[in-house]
Structure 1
Amino acid sequence: MAVFPAKHVSAKTLPEFIAWATKRQDGIAFGSTGIGTTVYLSGEMLCRRTGIQGIHIPFSDGSLTGLLRGDIQLTVDNLPTALTNLRGGKLRALAVTSTERSPDPPDVPTMAEAGIADFMVTSWNALGGIVAPSTGSTDPAGTHGLRIQNSGCGTLCGRNAGGRPWPSMCQALEGTAPRPGQEPPVHRA
């Protein structure tokens, strides 16, 4: 999700932000946790694809604090990182980088809807593989009391280890990561 500090930038939409940023003689600063990260590459790609002169500022603890202070004008980060400050009005979202809108916040367009075609970025989520205590007393696979589950709210959130519904986990994770089948297939040459 591409976000900017509401207090320091007056744009309301991605085209407005691009127009504002491209007029700035010294360009804008965008932040990440370092060169080579998904957040860095996403910011760099957005700047290059839109003609924005972007200067990368790495932050060892993430770019959110720098964004809120106005030290940088843009970051393209994961939704959970920005969600609290989006809800509180401190950040504004330009667009999500997935192929579909997020259920939270649902009013933020995709990059394609905002005017930038073929801009899709997703990142691996820690829920790609969950290690949880085994419910069985035997260990035929030699897993030493651990089992690995595939990600997805259907698997993780559907039932807890005792078989009871775990809706609070689903609600907490809803909209924070791509859902299976949400992204188009990757074509390799």
Structure 2
Amino acid sequence: MLSVLALTSFLAAAQPGLARVPPPARLSELGLPAELTENRLQALLQTFVDTGYGVRFRRLGDESDFDHGHVLLDARTGAPLAILYHTQELAGAIPGGEALLDPNGRNWIQWLDGRVENARRYERESYPRSGDWDWFVARELPKLRARGTITDRMLDPGRLGAAEERSVQWTFTRRSCAGADTGAAPRTLRVVLPDRTPVCLALSVQ
């Protein structure tokens, strides 16, 4: 008698409509460098969670706190340099709401070997002069600094190891782990919190 697994495999092969949904495009086709596979991103995120949960952020995969990172790339070669994370996104923004864990701890650089540093160490000391940059410095920069946010434009490429840099945002949204192994979109990263709670995160690239 066929086992349930064997029977399922047989039916899927015999009836294409029952086969698993093909996975979405490779991450490299969505703008991320080939070096950053799903497994690599998952491992880096796990390292960040291991050292930062309850210190840098409270809620993983929640847009009000921590749900995305910006892969910093060498603009000339496309090689990945590091990941810029923003945490505590809405903490302290609403009167009477959740307070910031650390007003100076909202922006983090994670190097590709897993090391994490405060992004303030890599902030620009001065900005280029052009119409676009002058507008950014006059209009956007004061708002960002008021919120304690450091964007990729505020980072000094030279300190990151590149003459110029650009970024690609990847988002990890918390989802139910039920059905996460279907092979269909969205891709799912799996991270374990320090208390051993498993968290499933739907991965997307913008």
Q: Per the shorter chain, which TM-score range? A: under 0.3
TM-score normalised by length of structure 2: 0.25
Higher strand share: 2
TM-score normalised by length of structure 1: 0.27
In our comparison, the structure showing a higher alpha carbon Rg is: 2
